[in-house]
Chains A and B, each alone.
Chain A
Amino acid sequence: MANTAGLCTSFKVELMTADHNFGVSSATRGSTAADSFKMALYAPAGSIGPSTTAYTATNEVTSSGYTAGGAAVTNATVPTSSGTTAYWTPSASVSWTTVTFTTDCALLYNSSRSNKSVGSYTFASQTVTAGNFTLTMPTNAAGTALIQIA
């Protein structure tokens, strides 16, 4: 198997059932706080992709300096739109310090909602050795944002 990139199909369905709240208010869910989101990293042997419905520990990387489940995503920017595209991007990089592992995929998931998956993001397999791994977010704009609904 291999990890593949894409928004999770289950996430697209859950958008229609108001399962995810990236903003600070949700009339449907009556919440005034955004959900919490996390990023987990996976080894190249994983099978994370658009068919993933929730976070899994299977093939997740392990290392001192890395906690199972990954790291919290900073969410200080509410979803917005430009033209006909709605979009959202975490407001800070996600990083791990002094870790040793090999990874080629990050899974974004909603830790407030039963760890439901949002999207998977792939890159060439990278080995980190006693070093830092940093995932820098794209520009938060239509056409580049981490999540876009075009």
Chain B
Amino acid sequence: MTDQMQVQEPPEELKGMVTTTLGNIKETDLRITVLQVQETPFVWVWARECHYIGTEFPEAVDTIVRRDVWVTMKCGQAAKADSPKI
């Protein structure tokens, strides 16, 4: 017995594919950009945008067909309890 997990490989036909609004698209048909879209004292927000650059869907060329977002909380919220006044 080992504690090693069995890692399931994706089907061969899905390797290098990305799920988008157009279905599963080859990564080579996408221009992928990662950008920081917000930074405040409370959050960082990052987005990964996939623009279609393939030839199968000409109407979708240069449009965003997938967008992932990461919101990283830098700091939560505080309830401040002031010292009692004497």
B15-41 with Cβ < 8 A to chain A: 19-21, 37-38, 40
Main SS class of interface, B:
strand
What residues of chain B have their CB less than 8 Å away from a CB belonging to chain A? 19-21, 37-38, 40, 42-43, 45, 47-48, 64-81
Task: Assess the A119–B77 pair: CB atoms within 8 A.
Answer: yes
Task: List 23 A-B residue pairs with CB atoms under 8 Å apart, sorted by A's residue number.
Answer: A5-B77, A7-B77, A12-B79, A119-B76, A123-B38, A123-B43, A124-B37, A126-B47, A127-B69, A128-B68, A129-B64, A130-B20, A131-B68, A133-B69, A134-B68, A135-B71, A136-B73, A145-B76, A146-B76, A149-B78, A150-B78, A150-B80, A150-B81
Chain A residues contacting B48 (CB-CB under 8 Å) are 131
What residues of chain A have their CB less than 8 Å away from a CB belonging to chain B? 5-7, 11-12, 15, 85, 87, 89, 98, 100, 106, 119, 121, 123-124, 126-138, 143-150
Chain A residues contacting B80 (CB-CB under 8 Å) are 150
Instruction: From B37, B47, B76, B81, give the contact of A144 (CB < 8 A).
Output: B76
CA distance A124 to B73 in the complex (A): 12
Please judge, given known A-B contacts A98-B19, A132-B68, whether A126 and B73 are in contact too, CB under 8 Å.
no
CA distance A136 to B40 in the complex (A): 15
Instruction: From B21, B45, B76, give the contact of A89 (CB < 8 A).
Output: B76
Task: With A5-B42, A134-B68, A138-B76 given, name 14 new contacts (CB 8 A).
Answer: A7-B77, A87-B76, A89-B76, A121-B76, A123-B42, A123-B71, A124-B45, A130-B19, A133-B69, A136-B72, A144-B74, A146-B76, A148-B76, A149-B78
Chain B residues contacting A137 (CB-CB under 8 Å) are 73
